[in-house]
Structure 1
């Protein structure tokens, strides 16, 4: 990373104490999805293609268990990342994730969709950039791929878990470029860990934002997230269309356009998402 990028201060703020306290919702969001299991069949049915699911910081495959069980129930073939606890971008992490991607692609004879939660979403985008021919779709959940690394409440934890400074890798600049595959960013304006502005996808084509009312730690299990994920993954390969908010969906999913426009009007000199 260049010296100027490292020294540039954050343009926004990490979520405040009130939003951090609201993260206790995560327990309810996980259990709500489990309680609603009889209604899982209402979500779109998949075509059996493989899904690589990547966990967030200091989390492992256990954190994505509800998500993977849901995806399997809807006819997909999900797989955890199999690297234990995600302690940040340590040596070999992305290479091992790429090996798993290659293995799934060869095993199923089809392109793989990748769902990445928080830090896992950053990995997902990088994998898709490196091997777009192997990746069908990328879905990120509260992933801070724009903005400054310190516009989150997890940067100190990242430095502790990984053993290096959060700006020691050239993620700050590289992550702004989107992967050349369909990309969905799911985020919450009441996220208590990652500032939602850091998760806004600004690319015009083959990309979209879906907003749910969720905690950060509940994003991967919130009923609204699960439905949206299934809806995106169920699209026929090569026939991607943006998520619509018509009918009942307008009462569940906030309008990202209005949120982004409001943010831009408050900061006219700064483009949202960089």
Structure 2
């Protein structure tokens, strides 16, 4: 498949949110969900889990309902999946930190095991913050279309986020820079260049021996958490033994849906 056209290198200074065309095309998320249902026999061929706990964090304005397909899929693969149980996510990284850490500690204490955290959009920003402040309880972090790097204002939800959360995304530069930096646990950022809500450049982390980017072709922002290729990638990443990390193998049944590693790291 031909790679999505990009401007290289990413522009300096301010980035723009995705255009109106990509935003309107977000309606295709329902088709991504339906495709995943049709492809469920293939999805169940993903590597099996070892039973460790996985906490799922919803995106901005979403609730645990949005992560239900993810939790059910991971449960079927052998993981102990958990909802965040905090209602609708109306934002506030600093405001939510204590409650999120309490939820993480509750799961860690109940299971006696480190917890992997999967966060969609804003939920991924929370997940990275949790890993920074509680690395002794976090096993792995996977983010899905999460704007944590570069110019994080480059989303079509920034003004609404600031209005509802009471926090400006640029209020705490130290916190913002920490979340955008290297994490003390293995992490994977899954994103799409056709995201209509978040500028894809804000989702790209610095690759390392324990960190990687996975670009999914043609995925929407609202469909990324139910996209078949993204679900497979999440399952594959979580199946790695604790304390080990290998780069994602794009040769599976959804190989055509992933950009080559060199593109994902541009």
What is the TM-score with the length of structure 1 in the denominator?
Answer: 0.87
Equivalent residue for 1:71, pick from 70, 74, 98: 74
Instruction: Label 1:260 to 1:113 Cα distance change in 2 as closer, same or farther (>3 A).
Output: closer
The whole-number CA distance in structure 2 between the counterparts of 1:109 and 1:20 is 42
**Counterparts of residues 1-274 of structure 1 (less than 5 Å):** 10-89=13-92, 92-170=95-173, 171-213=175-217, 214-246=219-251, 249-258=254-263, 260-261=265-266
8 Å CA contact 2:62, 2:88 repeated in 1: yes
Give how far 1:149 is off: 2.5
- Aligned 8 A contact 1:55 1:86 in 2: yes
Q: CA deviation at 1:84?
A: 0.4
| 2:116–2:140 Cα contact (<8 Å) kept | yes
| d(CA) in 2 for partners of 1:223, 1:160 | 33
* Distance in 1, Cα, partners of 2:80 & 2:141: 15
Equivalent pair of 1:48/1:77 in contact (CA under 8 Å): yes
State the 1:249 CA deviation.
4.9
Q: How many positions carry a matched residue from both structures?
A: 253
- 2:92, 2:167 within 8 Å by CA — same for their partners in 1? no
Pairwise CA distance, 1:205:
2.1
Shift of 1:258: 2.5
Write the deviation string for residues 189-226 of structure 1: whole angstroms up to 9, x where unpaired. Answer: 10011111111111322000111121000110100011
| Deviation at residue 10 of structure 1 after TM alignment | 4.6
Change (3 A) 1:191 1:90: closer
- Give the direction of change, closer, same or farther, for the CA distance of 1:257–1:15 in structure 2 (3 Å limit): same
Aligned CA RMSD, in angstroms, stands at 1.8
Bigger mean CA offset, 251-260 vs 179-188: 251-260
- How much does 1:153 deviate? 0.9
TM-score, normalised to structure 2, is: 0.89
Alignment deviations for residues 104-142 of structure 1 (CA, whole Å, 9 cap, x no partner): 111111110000111111110110011111111000001
The answer as to whether partners of 1:121 and 1:143 remain within 8 angstroms in 2 is yes
Measured after TM superposition, the shift of residue 21 of structure 1 is 1.5
Alpha-carbon distance in 1 for matches of 2:29, 2:252: 27
Unaligned runs of 5+ in 1: 1-8, 262-274
